[in-house]
Structure 1
């Protein structure tokens, strides 16, 4: 197919600074003339060695994905890329995109997703660049992209026809080749190399084990049906809400107890299945449930680490583990017993990527329903579910029993996250500035806690800063921490994953070693710390919010 290249004059937009998960805006912002093109050109302007190189393109199937992919292909051709690998129908889950980037040794990939955010013409859209290691672009690169977006004067685009994204095969456009690939095949091959599919399949086909996976009308539906039902033999209907829809069926594709209502109702019914799981819009998050039992993400990563040798891909043991700072310290206890390092990083998968690339860790996870390992450079929902299925097939115990045994061995970290969604950016900033002022004086904080009658004293307080042990880069202002003498913690962060206003996340944790106290209710156990957390941050006084939007 011959092609003409156009150089289109443009002017910069002032709001194209990527966050930890790329650029996320309302869909209509991305649909503005030149908005998508400017940001994509800014990416290409910062990439060295792009002439003749390979690029992966795919997304979660949300509204505007297909149109955006056609534009990106035309621009990739015009900017001299040699091969563009795109998932059939434009589909690639975020972990599958990482897998494909790594397998085919590409320059990187453009992933179109706003993760767990709602989709549709009036909802959210996102785009990020993943580097050659398969992981999110490092801050140095995202900063360069932002600078390029502010200086852009034109973008390059070919005048070629749309690619047929629904048919597998190759199309040549000028000097470039566009490959439409099966979005599941390479990822499924990788999963086979890690897990005991024979043992998992025998359990799923036995008729004695009930399993339900909620794809939330999002991208993992195609992966879950192919792997769980077609390959492993789970009964048809095991995967619910399995067709990827551009608006996720009007739902919020976030796998938590609030938004995965149908799955939660099934698992907490009297005759529910033995095991339940859900994933999010782009397939990188996961929620794990047993029969009438919820596994916190912090416990999940700790339990996977403690049982890793049951999984063929990790039988040689773990080099180390890592968790994000707000994630509970349950993983630390496992690492201590295994005699391996445990790194505490800021929130954002790119920090794990450095440790994974350097061979310092094998497993990692964060409290926001993300778990992963060195098999890719993204968190991975389907992989996490397969970890649990492999453990369940080996141990032949209910989920609840596995978790309770873990607590008896390592202690239980009672843990909750309270999200105050949709507060104004100004109120969010005011709360964080108030907190930073307070923690600058630990004695003031200690005196305040004593005056409030806190049960335990303050051990330390700070605004978390991280020095990367691999590249020695420093990341400051990563969250306010109050750490108590008994190991309890209160942490505050503003989330960067939304597109409107701000989300204040408050994390509360209390470790309990005594077996007789480990079956208590989480919110009751943490009630004093919860009350302290709201009063200390002046949440109601500043934002007017008396209760969180979501509790997990």
Structure 2
């Protein structure tokens, strides 16, 4: 039996290999035991799933195990976005939720994500406890199942669809009347849980929606359900070739990540959207507080924060840390370069639906394309260009990596190192304001190299210097 290991967003595995019903039942029982130990089991647990293979089946099995443990289950009746489940935790004041999702991973994956009563991703102390409990029970019949019929009769099962309460709340945070000025929007839910969550409220407010990939497909069209430039070329072509479309917005498989395509078909990096929205939320919507960003996220965010005189909180990678800042009401917006963000007064979880709609509101309010808004921001705070490179390690390089990363070079690409930050990985700040970050993947022989500079030439030079530092 493979060991159960929770990563930054839960336990993920390949269907029919390690992600099988028996393991799911064990992990569910471990979650049930963790919640009982916390004293919150009486509040019940939401069980949801995304649009992957067997989502409903895994959710029903989890519901049987939870009911067998005497915990009430609120079972979603359709595939449900991760941020909507987070919202429902807070709305119902449950002990948390079990969500069957592998987010933007390829279709052969599924996963279990546990969110506690805070509504955000579980912190490491919680996931480590669940891991320990699950691995101690592996190979044993450690759970008792209850049929869904009996659970319902005993008051331990309630079927729910949290869509409309979430959309009603969203309407308080997004100005749909302003968005309607755009006339037309292109929408791409990437066959995932975002189906209807963008199109329905937009159409209700008079926006014409041009939509693709809006049916459920567990294969996600043959690509990972990630709204990155590489995987949404069909959507980029749609926006580029239709002059009536000023903006395209897209969500990933579980709708917690966002993708934005400008009217000319240009894909806009999430880093830039986070910075633009920070400026917009302060300048136009008059929100107050700081900003949270992961260590891998653009310092364009810092430049905007400095412009407005607000503090920056740098966190390790993993939205759980930004979620904590939201729960503590410290920040206006929190974001990660991997296309996750949320805002003050919203859920402490990534919300791709909210991000897309706020981007549309910003474009409509300003009356300018995203690229123009970005150039205007650059004129105020300076230019920041970002790049991420995956460096695949041979077995020899992987063995040598721990020693190699201990070295602190005096410069990269001819620019002296000013500071080393080890919040998560090794981040080298250079004297000209550029930087590099090296983070080793926890699941594959890959080093993720993040770079930022003020020009394409400097950015490319940093990327080459960073790769040379790792591979020699």
Within a 5 Å distance, the mapping from 1:20-419 to structure 2 comes to 20-32=8-20, 34-47=22-35, 48-82=38-72, 84-89=73-78, 91-119=79-107, 123-152=108-137, 153-161=140-148, 173-201=152-180, 203-204=181-182, 206=183, 210-229=184-203, 231-236=204-209, 238-269=210-241, 271=243, 273-292=245-264, 293-309=266-282, 315-374=285-344, 375-419=346-390
Are 1:414 and 1:525, in contact at CA under 8 Å, matched by a contact in 2?
Answer: no
Give the secondary structure class of the aligned counterpart of 2:296: coil
Give the secondary structure class of the aligned counterpart of 1:509: strand
RMSD: 2.2
Are 1:50 and 1:80, in contact at CA under 8 Å, matched by a contact in 2?
Answer: no
Distance in 1 separating the partners of 2:152 and 2:44: 14
Are 1:301 and 1:331, in contact at CA under 8 Å, matched by a contact in 2?
Answer: yes
Task: Write the deviation string for residues 463-485 of structure 1: whole angstroms up to 9, x where unpaired.
Answer: x13xxxxxxxxxxxx21222210
- Structure 1 residue 39: deviation in Å? 0.9
Give the secondary structure class of the aligned counterpart of 1:144: helix
Moved more, 71-80 or 172-181: 172-181
- Structure 1 residue 224: deviation in Å? 2.0
Give the secondary structure class of the aligned counterpart of 1:133: coil
- Structure 1 residue 410: deviation in Å? 1.4
Task: Write the deviation string for residues 79-102 of structure 1: whole angstroms up to 9, x where unpaired.
Answer: 1113x222222x111111111111
Are 2:44 and 2:95, in contact at CA under 8 Å, matched by a contact in 1?
Answer: yes
Are 2:12 and 2:19, in contact at CA under 8 Å, matched by a contact in 1?
Answer: no
- Structure 1 residue 379: deviation in Å? 0.9
- Structure 1 residue 377: deviation in Å? 1.3
- Structure 1 residue 226: deviation in Å? 1.9
Question: Considering only CA atoms, is the larger Rg found in Structure 1 or Structure 2?
Answer: 1
Give the secondary structure class of the aligned counterpart of 1:173: helix
- Structure 1 residue 32: deviation in Å? 3.6
The list of structure 1 runs, each at least 4 consecutive aligned residues, that deviate by more than 6 angstroms after superposition, is: none
Distance in 2 separating the partners of 1:290 and 1:446: 40
Q: Within the alignment, does 1:456 sit opposite 2:415 as a pair?
A: yes
- Structure 1 residue 174: deviation in Å? 4.6
Gaps of 5+ in 1: 1-12, 164-170, 440-444, 466-477, 513-521, 542-552
- Structure 1 residue 14: deviation in Å? 4.6
Distance in 1 separating the partners of 2:378 and 2:403: 36
- Structure 1 residue 325: deviation in Å? 0.3
Are 1:489 and 1:508, in contact at CA under 8 Å, matched by a contact in 2?
Answer: yes
Task: Write the deviation string for residues 496-533 of structure 1: whole angstroms up to 9, x where unpaired.
Answer: 5x6xx344321110136xxxxxxxxx4x4422112111
User: How many pairs does the alignment contain?
Assistant: 466
Give the secondary structure class of the aligned counterpart of 1:115: coil
- Structure 1 residue 271: deviation in Å? 3.9
Distance in 1 separating the partners of 2:446 and 2:468: 18
Give the secondary structure class of the aligned counterpart of 1:243: coil
- The structure 1 residue matched to 2:450, chosen from 507, 531, 534, is 507
Question: Normalising by the residue count of structure 1, what TM-score does the alignment of the two structures yield?
Answer: 0.80
Are 1:428 and 1:494, in contact at CA under 8 Å, matched by a contact in 2?
Answer: no
Give the secondary structure class of the aligned counterpart of 1:405: helix
- Structure 1 residue 51: deviation in Å? 4.2
- Structure 1 residue 310: deviation in Å? 6.4
**Distance change in 2, residues 1:46/1:177 (3 Å):** closer
Are 2:21 and 2:58, in contact at CA under 8 Å, matched by a contact in 1?
Answer: no
What does residue 438 of structure 2 align with? Answer: 492
Task: Write the deviation string for residues 117-143 of structure 1: whole angstroms up to 9, x where unpaired.
Answer: 111xxx111101101111111111111
Give the secondary structure class of the aligned counterpart of 2:288: coil
Distance in 2 separating the partners of 1:480 and 1:220: 35
Distance in 1 separating the partners of 2:125 and 2:270: 30
